[in-house]
């Protein structure tokens, strides 16, 4: 094990896979000389050269179009969009082309591409650089959606995503880049579609994603001091979703709180709550509660931004509510 940040773990994954597989290349705005705005691609240009680390103009449609075309021709591109908010510019290339090619060519086409993008609020980047839009991609057949919450998962999931033969949207929460943790050295993967129980508990299940995993774990620690045992489940991938791990947890605790930073209305928690209601309703002793952002653009004002982001206090309140406290 090595101790490294979330960002360094992603960088390590890219270096390992580019060394192992010459068909892997990185492309996007400022991924080369600058090393990425959050440092994830630092050092790649020096090590692998301009042919495999390609700085692009500010044109998201060209970045994703290039990735889809390269993937269909046998390469394994890792494209970076900086901010997921910019994905509206290139949605046609992603959801009408990349996501559908395998289906429309009778399974003969492979589109092994990864689209990396940052998401989430917390740095005062305002309404156009702070959103969590994972629910958009969960709704598109043909796309896989990954949201790691720890450095170890970030590395293992990125390696698995690059090796997958389908397009993967890989979302990195900005507030996680500096988080440190133990990361296995060398080559290892975390399978897509497999959730992880980050904390075992008996009274309530929390299903949380990305940065909300860290807040849910902190809330669970505080609740433990009050004698409330909380289990925290991190899906890690939202498509495919590991329903079995979530259902097994709910069948044990009989209560569920879903926590995500995306807008609560029609967010990823809505699908998780509906799935549990359909498949484990008889095990529930209380309604499923969701903790998410309000139906509003992300504010620029620091106090308003902090109110917008789900907090430990809101998570604790939801847990106590489903317990009738």
| Integer angstrom CA distances of residue 183 from 9, 49, 52, 168 | 7, 27, 26, 22
Structure tokens at 44: 């790649």
31/72 Cα distance (integer angstroms): 22
Whether 129 is a known active-site residue: answer yes
Which of 129, 139, 254, 260 is the catalytic position? 129
Distance CA 86, CA 63 (A): 11
Q: Say how far apart CA 63 and CA 288 lie, in whole Å.
A: 40
* Helix (H), strand (E), coil (C) string for 84-136: HHHHHHHHHHHHHHHCCHHHHCCCCCCCCCEEEEEECCCCCCCCCCCCCCHHH
Chain mean position to CA 200 = 22
What positions carry a catalytic annotation? 129
């Amino acid at each position: 094990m090595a101790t490294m940040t979330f960002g360094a773990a992603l960088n390590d994954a890219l270096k390992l896979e580019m060394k192992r597989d010459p068909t892997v290349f990185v492309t996007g705005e400022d991924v080369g000389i600058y090393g990425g705005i959050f440092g994830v691609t630092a050092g790649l240009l020096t090590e692998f050269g301009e042919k495999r680390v390609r700085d692009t103009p500010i044109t998201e449609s060209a970045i994703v179009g290039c990735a889809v075309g390269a993937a269909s021709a046998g390469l394994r591109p890792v494209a970076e969009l900086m901010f997921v908010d910019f994905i509206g510019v290139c949605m046609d290339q992603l959801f009408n082309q990349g996501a559908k090619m395998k289906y429309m060519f009778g399974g003969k086409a492979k589109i092994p591409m990864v689209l990396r993008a940052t998401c989430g609020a917390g740095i005062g980047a305002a309404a156009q650089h702070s959103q969590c839009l994972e629910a958009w991609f969960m709704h598109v057949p043909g796309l896989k959606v990954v949201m790691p919450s720890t450095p170890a998962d970030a590395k293992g999931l990125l390696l698995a995503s690059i090796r997958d033969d389908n397009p993967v949207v890989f979302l990195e929460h900005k507030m996680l880049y500096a988080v440190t943790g133990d990361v296995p050295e060398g080559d290892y993967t975390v399978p897509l579609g497999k959730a992880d129980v980050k904390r075992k508990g008996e009274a309530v299940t929390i299903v949380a994603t990305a940065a909300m995993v860290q807040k849910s774990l902190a809330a669970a620690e505080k609740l433990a001091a009050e004698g409330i045992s909380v289990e925290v489940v991190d899906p890690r991938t939202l498509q495919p979703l590991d329903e079995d791990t979530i259902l097994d947890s709910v069948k044990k605790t009989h209560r569920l709180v879903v926590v995500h930073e995306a807008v609560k209305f029609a967010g990823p928690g809505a699908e998780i709550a509906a799935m549990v209601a359909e498949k484990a309703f008889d095990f529930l002793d209380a309604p499923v509660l969701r903790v998410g952002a309000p139906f509003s653009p992300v504010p620029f004002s620091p106090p308003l931004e902090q109110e917008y982001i789900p907090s430990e206090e809101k998570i604790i309140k939801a847990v106590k509510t489903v317990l009738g406290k």
